[in-house]
Amino acid sequence: MEDTGNIPYFKGQHEYKGIVYPNIVLDSSIDRLKSFQVRDDDIWIVTFPKAGTHWMMEIIGLILSGGDPDKIDRSLYCNTVEMINLDQRFPQTKEEEKLHPLDMSPFLDVIERAPSPRAMLTHLQFDLLPRDILKSKIVYLARNPKDLIVSWFQFFGKFPERPLTMEKAIEEFVDGKMQWGPWPVHVRTFWELKDHENVTFIFYEDLKKEPAKYIEKIANGIGHPLSEEVLQRVVKFSHIDSQKATFKKLEENGKVNYVKASGELAFLNKGVSYRWKQFFTVAQNEAFDEWYQDKMADTDLKFTFE
């Protein structure tokens, strides 16, 4: 585990079985998932971090609520299955952490008791998920890796205690040392499952370009087809401007853990594609392209970068 110095424990990270995780991920929960009791009507939202997780959460929530953001059941939306229960106040200093330590109870305990249909989030690699997960519905959202890195940099670069540069963000990504493990393995495994009847594989860029078309695909994929009227409501209220309005209302009502990671970092950023051009230098881009071509040479999985 890294030396966090004066950094609160939850802002640190550790390695478990060769993969780096934030300290709010419980190794015991990862181990428990293999024997987790999957239900046929479960909906698993699977993403690599910063690939549009909270956008997809909102879309699924709106599909299940008939397009009404006020009726979304967000009880399983404040964190991923592998984390602690984040519905608590987060200490912001080491001193505060000593006085009010985090409750490390697993969020899996909440998920196991939740009524159906359960819409759950995870960033874990496929081989760490329940053995029979394919009997439930899976929605996988994939984003081009350059924009993903930029979003990660902008998110974690705001931790003053652990500054992250673009150079470091790219380095960790290509070395497989970014949290939740190597991206190529994560995305390629789910791409190979794209034709499974219970798997819906969606590209972030496609969803941005034609939201109605791909929201309809998602709804059909999880067994909740939509009328045209409800589809248009889901399109409207899942737009980033509507999401920000919804999240502002949640924050005003004290629901900060649905809105901000660790109570301070906003989940929503710009929601824009191809911003990588503003952040990658020419040298970084050329080096990344070489790495990408090597890692993706033997797959028909293709991303759009502009």
The C-alpha atoms of residue 290 and residue 47 are separated, in whole angstroms, by: 24
Residue 22, Cβ neighbours under 10 Å: how many?
19
DSSP states of 38-72: --TT-EEEEE-TTSSHHHHHHHHHHHHTTS-GGG-
C-alpha neighbours within 13 Å on the C-beta side of residue 282: 0
Can 123 be counted among the known catalytic residues?
A: yes
Out of 123, 186, 196, 224, pick the active-site residue: 123
Distances (CA, A) of 283 to 5, 152, 226, 287: 34, 20, 46, 6
Those residues whose C-beta lies under 8 Å from the C-beta of residue 143, and which sit 6 or more positions away, are 47, 48, 50, 51, 52, 151, 203, 204, 205
The C-alpha atoms of residue 37 and residue 30 are separated, in whole angstroms, by: 14
Phi, psi of 45 (to 5 degrees): -95, 110
Question: Two tokens at 263?
Answer: 């109570």
Those residues whose C-beta lies under 8 Å from the C-beta of residue 10, and which sit 6 or more positions away, are 22, 23, 24, 90, 91, 102, 262
Query: Helix or strand or coil: residue 5?
Result: coil
Those residues whose C-beta lies under 8 Å from the C-beta of residue 266, and which sit 6 or more positions away, are 247, 259, 260
Q: Length of the chain, please?
A: 306
Active site residues: 123
